[in-house]
Amino acid sequence: MTHFISFIGDFFTQFEMYFRIFISAFLGLLIGFDRTHKNKPAGVKTYTFVTVASALITIVSIESVARYGHMNERTMMDPMRLTAQIVSGLGFLGAGLIMKTGFEVKGLTSAAMILFAGGVGIGIGAGFYGIVIFTIVTAFFFIRVGGWIEKKEHDRLHAKDAKDDIDLSA
Statement: residue 91 has pLDDT above 80: yes
**In 3-state terms, what secondary structure has residue 80?**
coil
pLDDT at 11: 63
Q: Average pLDDT of 66-90?
A: 83
The 10s digit of each residue's pLDDT in 127-147 is 999 999 999 999 999 999 998
**Are 164 and 156 in contact, with CB atoms under 8 Å apart?**
no
Average pLDDT, the chain: 86
Least confident of 30-44, 46-60, 102-116, 118-132: 30-44
Distance from C-alpha of 91 to C-alpha of 122, rounded to nearest angstrom = 15
pLDDT at 81: 85
Residue 27: other Cβ atoms inside 10 A: 24
Nearest 10 degrees: CA dihedral of 104, 109, 115, 120? Answer: 180
Least confident of 30-44, 108-122, 151-165: 151-165
Maximum CA pair distance of the chain?
Answer: 91
Least confident of 20-24, 71-75, 82-86: 71-75
User: Which strand (E) or helix (H) includes residue 72?
Assistant: none
pLDDT at 148: 92
Statement: residue 118 has pLDDT above 90: yes
Statement: residue 165 has pLDDT above 70: no
Instruction: Output b/e per residue, 71-87; b: 16+ Cβ within 10 A.
Output: eeeeeeeebeebbeebe
User: 87: closest CA among 121, 46, 48?
Assistant: 121
